[in-house]
Amino acid sequence: METIVKIHIEKLPEGVYLATSDDLQGLVAQGRTISETLEIARDVAKKLLEASQENGQKESNLQEAFDYPLVVGV
């Protein structure tokens, strides 16, 4: 089963990227690149969702559709 979790990524002054989510409480991931940060965030989200399923909880903020900004260099 696939679930969509909206995340927010920002570049910190230290030069690393931080990902958090209002959709999934507890999701915090940090990486040296955006790609690495997304990979870590995906792993953290999966573990959080698996843990909530084991406890019989359901994340109600998760959505079936979302907007995603696509950055294109010209």
Per the model's pLDDT, the better-predicted residue between 64 and 30 turns out to be 30
Per the model's pLDDT, the better-predicted residue between 43 and 2 turns out to be 43
User: What b/e string do you get for 9-37 counting C-beta neighbours within 10 Å, with b at 16 or more?
Assistant: eeeeeeeebbbbbebbeebebebeeeeeb
Mean pLDDT (the chain, rounded): 83
pLDDT value at residue 9 = 93
pLDDT value at residue 52 = 85
Check whether 29 has a pLDDT greater than 70: yes
